[in-house]
Amino acid sequence: MEEKKFHGLDHLRALAILMVLTYHYRAFKHPAWIDTIGSVGWTGVDLFFVLSGFLISNQLFKEFKKTGAIKMNLFLLKRFFRILPPYLFTLLLYIYIPVFREKETLPPIWKFLTFTQNYGLDVIHKGTFSHAWSLCIEEQFYLLLPLSLGVLIRIKGFSYLKLGIMLLLLISIFIRAFSWYEIILPHLNSPDFWKQWYQYIYYPTYTRLDGLAIGVLIGHLYQYSKPFKKMLDTKGNLLLLTGMIAISFSFWFCQDQTLASASILGFSLVAISYGIILIGAISSSSFLAKNKSVITSQLAMLSYAIYLSHKGVIHLTQRFVEKNHMVISDGVLLLCCFLLCLAVAVFYRFFIEKPASIFKNRIINL
């Protein structure tokens, strides 16, 4: 049977990549309005986390309901061919084509290859390809989630999953609170503040479990809770409205990330808010689910390739314009950069992702 397609999630994935683009574009020559819109763009990554948590867990829970087991090898094989080929190609660009680098210094290569780059990342001095930190978290999640579910199944503790998810949220909050008061606060007025904040609050997996945990919780409810499914049948638009109000509050709450309150509770509020929006988006009664869009579906399909390559593409584009003394308005330059990001993503799609998918299917069908 063909897997159900959540068309509403295409809109959210497209929104997430646009938010990330505007957030990162602030580091380059940009129109003034990008500073305003891009200031909340960092939450696009959190939206990706919630989406990944739901989509991956829903797939695993569905398989478990059907077969009573989780095929770990098949799951990892699919993830390998989906994630690794575009990622390794981008990493090769950064290693062997220095002009592609948006900054001068690349973190140690072994950290990229082991997906541990997000630990101890000095984004101030080694910020090239720094945005791969979120992919490191997702890769660790892809490994730990099925393993954890397998352990719960083996010890017959599957019924405690929801309690475990809530515990993960509390642990993340506790670790952020500890890191803030014991590590960050002493550097509050020093030049090292942002370096410490990123290294101990923003990048580590154990402080960023909120979005993934919320996504897994929604996946569990979707597969196992009849009242939840009943609510989805009729409350889609109300959930979307509630989620939009909640995320607006979260933006306000996190407007100053240097505050202890935002550093400790902000990621949880953002994750919960996006979780409510996601629930609305998967509801067949919501306008997001009912209105398919070629634009958002294609943008969603290209989002991973855009995420990997966009900084290098923007850097090369603006460097070319500057070196050739071209007079282009900031708005037109932004449009050119965006279109080139799309073009490069299409290249990834047809020359890297599709061949990898074909090869994956051949292996699976052996």
Q: 124 Cβ partners below 8 Å, 6+ apart?
A: 194, 195, 198
Interval 22-55: pLDDT, tens: 999 999 999 999 999 899 999 999 999 999 999 9
- For 295, other C-beta atoms within 10 Å of its C-beta total 10
Interval 300-314: pLDDT, tens: 999 999 999 999 999
- What does the alpha-carbon distance between residue 107 and residue 126 come to, in Å, rounded to a whole number? 6
Interval 348-363: pLDDT, tens: 999 999 999 999 999 9
Identify the segments of the chain with pLDDT beneath 70.
1-4
Q: 280, 288 in Cβ contact below 8 A? A: yes
Q: Is residue 38 one of the residues assigned to a domain? A: yes
Q: Give the single-character DSSP code of 29.
A: S
- Which among 193, 203, 199 has a CA at the least distance from the CA of 256? 193
Interval 71-113: pLDDT, tens: 889 999 999 999 999 999 999 999 999 999 998 789 999 999 9
Which helix H or strand E contains 180, and what residues bound it? none
* Mean pLDDT value across the chain: 94
- What does the alpha-carbon distance between residue 68 and residue 91 come to, in Å, rounded to a whole number? 38
Which helix H or strand E contains 201, and what residues bound it? none
Specify the pLDDT at position 209.
94
Q: Is residue 2 one of the residues assigned to a domain? A: no
- Distance of alpha carbon 120 from the chain centroid: 19
Specify the pLDDT at position 318.
97
- Please state, in angstroms and as integers, the Cα–Cα distance from residue 338 to each residue in 28, 259, 309, 353, following that order: 13, 33, 11, 20
Specify the pLDDT at position 104.
79
Query: What's the domain count of the chain?
Result: 1
Query: pTM for this one?
Result: 0.96
Q: Is residue 44 one of the residues assigned to a domain? A: yes
Q: Is residue 70 one of the residues assigned to a domain? A: yes
Q: Is residue 1 one of the residues assigned to a domain? A: no
Where does 180-258 have alpha helices with state H? 193-197, 210-224, 226-234, 236-253
Specify the pLDDT at position 70.
87
Specify the pLDDT at position 2.
41
If you write DSSP's letter for every residue of 105-148 in order, what string do you get? -PPPHHHHHTT-TTSS--TTTS-TTGGGHHHHHHHHHHHHHHHH
Specify the pLDDT at position 98.
93
- Which among 153, 137, 145 has a CA at the least distance from the CA of 46? 137
Specify the pLDDT at position 105.
87
Q: Is residue 251 one of the residues assigned to a domain? A: yes
Domain membership of residue 118 as a residue range:
7-364
